[in-house]
Chains A and B, each alone.
Chain A
């Protein structure tokens, strides 16, 4: 069965698995994981340079064919997210930005309202904007109007590995929003990524699970396979769940006509 590519802002991608680059123990694990994940979009962040020690440049470990998606982590409101996005663009590394506005240190939940404001400003400036939100239909509709390229709802708390705790709300976005829905945050196992894809998500992003695995490159590969399997299942027209049993063998007794009623 052939699939259509994932298209974001007119750019086509074969892989539907996006990888984050945070928390890797070393740069070899990172570059091996990017390779085995087959990801064509990876996220990075921006930070002040540490003046006391010369740090390695992470971009040296990301292959040139990969699209860089800079997040605005650290932003507490729309204004700070816009500032980070403009700085990232000034590096000459493209204009793809994942808007992430967080003003809560306990649950690290995104501020949908500020995210919409930042999306409006940056889309108007020509950025390709992939906003990260708590799954909410009205916020997602506002993002469509604001010019977002995708909507990225969270599966569960960032870094929690809890999987699709917001499943029903993500399904609403998949059903109602005419943009690629990329499930981000909380995806802790390939089975969870597959589940998101079976639901009809356009793609899945993972970071913590891969970066903190004993063998990150092996888990990155497992995620890639799971995302592909979930996608194929979705395209196959996966049958719905039923509340009662439905026999898969003929409904007669073996040598007699009826199955005995209990």
Chain B
């Protein structure tokens, strides 16, 4: 299945959990925030959240800023 992550199309095996995807892209997922199809998914819900074809996922975290 194809998912748009941070604006880029990525291929995954079907029925992937959000938790697995976060860990694939983030070495330290502690301060990663996820937004699935425009709705924030809290980290304690990552393991129960499955993704489907065409989902849009944003993975954001903290960086330096003024």
Q: Chain A residues in contact with chain B, CB under 8 A?
A: 20-24, 30, 43-49, 51, 54-60, 70-71, 73, 86-88, 90-93, 158, 185, 205, 207-208, 211
Contact = CB atoms under 8 A, between A and B. Distances in A.
A108 B50 CA distance: 40
Contacts of B8: 51
Contact of B64 (A49, A51, A54, A58): A58
Nearest to A23: B64
Nearest to A45: B65
Given A45-B64, A51-B10, A71-B65, 8 more contacts: A22-B63, A22-B66, A30-B64, A46-B60, A48-B60, A60-B28, A86-B40, A207-B66
A54 B26 CA distance: 6
Nearest to B10: A51
The winner among A59, A73, A207 for most chain B CB atoms within 10 A is A59
A239 to B, nearest CB: 34
Interface string B30-66: 1111010000101100000000000000111111111
Given A20-B66, A57-B31, A86-B40, A46 B61 contact: yes
B61 A49 contact: yes
B26 to A, nearest CB: 6
B42 A90 contact: yes
Contacts of B28: 56-57, 60
Contacts of B26: 49, 54
25 contacts: A20-B64, A23-B66, A30-B64, A43-B65, A44-B64, A45-B64, A46-B61, A46-B62, A47-B60, A48-B6, A48-B59, A48-B60, A49-B61, A51-B25, A57-B30, A57-B62, A60-B28, A87-B33, A87-B40, A91-B32, A92-B43, A93-B31, A93-B62, A158-B66, A207-B66
